[in-house]
Amino acid sequence: MTTLDLIAPAFIEMAHSIVWASVATVDADGRPRSRILHPIWEWDGTDLFGWIATAPTPIKKAHLAVHPYVSVNYWSPSHDTCSAEALVEWYTDDETRTQVWDKFAKGPAPVGYDPSIIPGWDGPTSPSFAALRLTPYRLRVMPGSAMLTGTGGVLTWQR
């Protein structure tokens, strides 16, 4: 098992280079549903958090109301993969939505982008804009070389 202080920077480096992730939720009947989302991750030396700018759709809201967890999986064509299993919290207050909007608007390339390009997101207080905060309890980072050539270490961490 890898310590969080070692895996968090490696996870962020890989996740931010891949950018897009398959994120799965589970409905009240235990059925999974995946979608492609664009998390941004922050490591302060002690805690790792992810943020997702998203629309608070009825399906996402219903899934997360009964099962407030997600599985986040990144994959690149070189077979680099990293994943996070995380507790999720909705944020719909103006202050947090503005902070998350700014995280993406001012984020480093390639993970940063202008959220206003999304239809219906006129600004951080738009009714169709919300923020999800991800608090991981399990992480995995696997360079493609580990699978393809047996070189490079697989990192895992669990709270």
Residue 1 has pLDDT above 90, yes or no: no
- Rounded to whole angstroms, the Cα distance separating 17 from 90 reads 25
Per-position DSSP letters for 20-78, written without gaps between them: -EEEEEE-TTS-EEEEEE--EEEE-SS-EEEEEEE---HHHHHHHHH--EEEEEEE-TT
- Rounded to whole angstroms, the Cα distance separating 133 from 141 reads 20
Give residue 124's pLDDT.
96
Tokens 């999986």 belong to 73
Residue 145 has pLDDT above 70, yes or no: no
Region 118-130 average pLDDT: 95
Residue 140 has pLDDT above 70, yes or no: yes
The CATH H-level (homologous superfamily) assignment of domain 4-158 is Electron Transport, Fmn-binding Protein; Chain A (2.30.110.10)
pLDDT in tens, 29-72: 999 999 999 999 999 999 999 999 999 999 999 999 999 999 99
The whole-chain average pLDDT of the chain stands at 94
Residue 97 has pLDDT above 90, yes or no: yes
Beta partners for 110?
A: none
- The domain ranges of the chain are 4-158
- Rounded to whole angstroms, the Cα distance separating 74 from 40 reads 12
Q: What is the model's pTM? A: 0.92
